[in-house]
Amino acid sequence: MPISLRTRVKRRVRPPAAVLRVIRLNNGFQLLFNLLWWMPVFYQYQKQAGLSDSQIFGIQSVYYVAFCLLEIPTGFIADRIGQRRCMQLGAAAMTAANILPVASPSFAGFMAHFLAIAAARSLVSGASSAYLYEYLHEHGAGEHYVQAEGTARALGLWAKIACWPLVGVLMHVRHEAPYVLTALSTLGSLACAAALPAIAAPRGGGQPPAERVGLLDSARQAAKVLGTSRSLGPLMVQGVAVFTLARICQVNLFQPLLLEKDLPVADHGAVLSAMTVAEAVGSARTGWLRSRLADATVVTVLSVIMALTLAATTLSGGLGTILWLCVFAAAAGLAYPVQRNLINAAIPPTPYRATLLSVESIIDRGVCAVVALAVGAYLAADRLDALLVHAAAGTCLLLLVVGVVLGRLRRDGVRRAAGQP
């Protein structure tokens, strides 16, 4: 660990009042936008609505594909109209999305629900991270980005911890309550996004927004930036492990895994809350690992831990599975803010930051679309344990390849700095 990085992590002061206000508004936005009350029960909710496993996981696969198709256009939108306005559009779309299952609890209704969520998340995914990163650096507070990202994620997770155990009770009172409460929460995120201040256009890296010709020109400029950064592509691929493992485990495999261990549905919300506690603690403690290891090493080590803990559940009973899932969640919480900072730091000053972050999301969701189909196939064949072991092996192999590439890039950089051919 370089001394300069350790010094930078420790030397953290309170940000200015204007920056602190934006950080708090971003905290509120992330908390409310991602507070999906229906998450612990959506699988069973759809089963009660008459959907089969193939239909449920088919919808998930379509969702990931739709997200991929929407990411680049929405990245262009964010770079053109501003990340703040794109966040507002995303919050409005998410509010509408969560009304659909109430209006139409059917296969078509849930398909429309997840397609609308794909649109909302694609609008926000690159824009929110780009906005926070650009605003903090514009105001000379860039060193607060990792902690701000981690704190926002931690607060959102603590909110889920408080809310998710109540979902089962609320459903007994009003069956559609999880979706109604989610719509109200995302409406609150729209208010937070509306209160965010505008930021100046990013410096360097291309033409100012007023001079952009069209989407194709924007795509060429973004591709040019991606090509000039040798480490950005490998770092995006490295992030696939964190995102895919977290998404597939916490969304697609969570309930099937607990049902496989004979844990009753009534306890699933409490288990997910325990996992969320672990993830929240990890998200708020990113500085602990960053003071000891380089960021790329942190992400690799934590990704391996996530993969191995999933595989370890195959050898465990109900209680052991819960403990391994909590370790998994803590590793995910530690990894995510560090990985976000790695990607943003690898992007040079450019007006195409949101577009480039959308490229990363396309890679992540594209892999998730394939994995979601595989999950459905493995579950249909009653081979859940094999799926978890194969996922762990594939993750470790991917990280090994990326580690070799990043190591070679670092050595090339040292040789160039020393003036060697």
| Plot region of 331 (φ>0 → left; ψ -120 to 50 → alpha; else → beta) | alpha
> Is residue 83, in this structure, part of any structural domain at all?
yes
Amino acid residing at 107 = F
- Helix axis angle for 107-138 and 353-380, nearest 10°, is 140
3-state SS, one letter per residue, for 250-295? HHHHHHHHHHHCCCCHHHHHHHHHHHHHHHHHHHCCHHHHHCCCCH
Answer whether 313's CB lies under 8 Å from 257's CB: yes
Integer-rounded Cα radius of gyration of the chain: 21
Sign of the alpha-carbon dihedral angle for 216, 217, 222, 227? positive
Tell me the C-alpha distance between 295 and 412, whole Å. Answer: 19
CA nearest 335: which of 255, 391, 395? 395
Residue 65 falls inside a structural domain: yes
Which residues 6+ apart lie within 8 Å of 261 measured at CB?
316, 317, 318, 321
- Note the pLDDT of residue 169: 79
Q: Is 81 exposed, middle or buried (0-12, 13-18, 19+ CB in 10 A)?
A: middle
Output the CA–CA distances (angstroms, integers) from residue 13 to 20, 110, 131, 141, 415, in the order listed: 12, 46, 21, 10, 36
3-state helix, strand, coil in the chain (%, to 5): 80, 0, 20
Backbone φ/ψ region at 174: left (φ over 0), alpha (ψ -120 to 50), beta? beta
Q: Which residues of 305-334 are buried (b: 16+ CB within 10 A; e: fewer)?
A: bbbbbbbbbbeeeeeebbbbbbbbbbbbbb
Q: Which domain holds residue 36?
A: 15-417
In-domain check, residue 8 = no
Q: What single-letter DSSP state applies at residue 29?
A: H
Per the structure, the count of domains in the chain is: 1
Q: What is the pLDDT of residue 191?
A: 94
Any idea what the CATH number is for the domain that residue 58 is in?
A: 1.20.1250.20
Provide CB contacts within 8 A for 43, sequence distance 6+.
56, 254, 255, 256
**CB-CB contact of 255 with 311 (8 Å):** no
- Specify if 186 maps to a domain: yes
- Is 51 a domain residue? yes
Enter the pTM of the model: 0.63
Cα–Cα nearest to 243, from 365, 70, 127: 365
Q: Are 257 and 378 in contact (CB under 8 A)?
A: no
Token pair for residue 84?
Answer: 């703040």
Number of separate helices (H) and strands (E) present in the chain:
19, 0
pLDDT computed for residue 416 by the predictor: 61
Tell whether 92 is covered by a domain.
yes
Q: What is the model's pLDDT at position 189?
A: 94
Establish if 215 belongs to a structural domain. Answer: yes
Q: State the pLDDT at residue 239.
A: 82
Task: Please report the pLDDT score of residue 412 as a whole number.
Answer: 67
3 is a domain residue:
no
Q: 26 CB contacts (<8 Å, ≥6 apart)?
A: 128, 131, 132, 148, 152, 192, 196
Per-residue pLDDT of the chain (421 residues; tens, 9 = 90+): 444 444 444 445 677 888 889 999 999 999 999 899 988 788 778 888 888 877 888 888 788 788 777 866 776 777 778 888 989 999 999 999 999 999 888 999 999 999 999 899 888 877 888 888 888 888 888 788 877 887 887 788 788 878 877 887 788 788 888 999 999 999 999 999 999 998 765 544 444 443 444 555 666 666 777 767 777 778 888 888 888 888 777 777 777 888 888 887 667 777 877 888 888 788 767 767 777 788 888 888 898 999 899 889 888 888 898 999 999 989 988 888 888 888 878 777 766 676 677 777 777 777 877 787 788 788 878 888 888 888 888 888 888 888 888 878 777 665 665 555 5
